[in-house]
Amino acid sequence: DKTGTLTLNKLTVDKNLIEVFARGVDPDSVVLMAARASRTENQDAIDPAIVGMLADPKEARAGIREVHFLPFNPTDKRTALTYIDDDGKMHRVSKGAPEQILNLAHNKSDIERRVHAVIDKFVERGLRSLAVAYQEVPDGRKESSGGPWQFIGLMPLFDPPRHDSAETIRRALNLGVNVKMITGDQLAIGKETGRRLGMGTYMYPSSALLGQDKDESIAALPVDELIEKADGFAGVFPEHK
């Protein structure tokens, strides 16, 4: 099983791959805005990865006064922090699912093609995407819808392999033991993890196990042959495991 066995079950961000969309903003600013849109206590799964990128976690609230925090929920699929800076001006930052953040952006039609291109690039490398946005709240009321939202950037998320996984798999392979991966994550993430661990990238979707694969050459294979041939399966549900 991939998550927590082959990997650390701990999301990280590759800062070198952060894509910036707003003028006058650099990757460090994207990280800071994302950290402000995170909880510093009672964190969700993503918050520690973001806040942990700061030199000091206290930077996430340095020089600002928190007014309201919107926690992640299945409807909004984003978090948001409304805050007041040292000059008494109100601002709001948000992080979350790229489509939700893109829908906020005042210039959605201008940037959506590039946003989707970056997301696709991340997916090819087995990376999930987290989007960040910012707005000013000129009237200073937390209930206010605020000014135009700016789409600030996209951050790549990845659950890295455990430090001993690659060596353990190498030793198993040298002993003639074939190691197969099963994961609930999408196919690209399974392939990227397999590549990093040196265990192969012949990964198949769970539909292949159920004989539902669109590729007839795969669908025609007996399940036992498919399992022998594969390095792993992705998009697997607990009952499949």
Residues 33 and 152 sit within 8 Å (Cβ to Cβ): yes
What stretches of 137-231 adopt beta strand conformation (E)? 150-158, 181-182, 203-205
Residues 147 and 137 sit within 8 Å (Cβ to Cβ): yes
Mean pLDDT of the chain: 92
101 and 192 in a single domain? The answer is: no
CB neighbourhood size of 228 (10 A): 11
69 and 98 in a single domain? The answer is: yes
164 part of the active site: no
Which residue in the list 1, 26, 85, 215 is annotated as catalytic? 1
Three-state secondary structure call for residue 214: coil
| Bridge partners of residue 150, in order along the sequence | 134
pTM: 0.75
pLDDT score of 80: 98
194 and 154 in a single domain? The answer is: no
Q: What is the CATH number of the domain that holds 72?
A: 3.40.1110.10
d(CA 202, CA 233): 9
Tens of pLDDT along 49-108?
A: 999 999 999 999 999 999 999 999 888 999 999 999 999 999 999 999 999 999 999 999
- What's the structural domain count of the chain? 2
Which of these three, 158, 174, 196, is where a domain ends? 158
Tens of pLDDT along 108-125?
A: 999 999 999 999 999 888
pLDDT score of 79: 97
Instruction: Please compute Rg for the chain using Cα positions.
Output: 21
Tens of pLDDT along 65-77?
A: 999 999 998 889 9
183 and 87 in a single domain? The answer is: no
Q: Is the pLDDT of residue 206 over 90?
A: no
Tens of pLDDT along 4-23?
A: 788 888 899 999 999 999 99
Domain assignment of residue 178, given as a range:
165-234
What stretches of the chain adopt beta strand conformation (E)? 12-13, 19-20, 64-70, 78-85, 90-96, 128-136, 150-158, 181-182, 203-205, 232-234
Residues 136 and 146 sit within 8 Å (Cβ to Cβ): yes
Q: Is the pLDDT of residue 207 over 90?
A: no
Report residue 89: phi and psi, to 5°. -90, 145
Least confident of 146-150, 215-219, 234-238: 215-219
Q: Return the percentage of the chain with pLDDT > 70, whole number.
A: 97
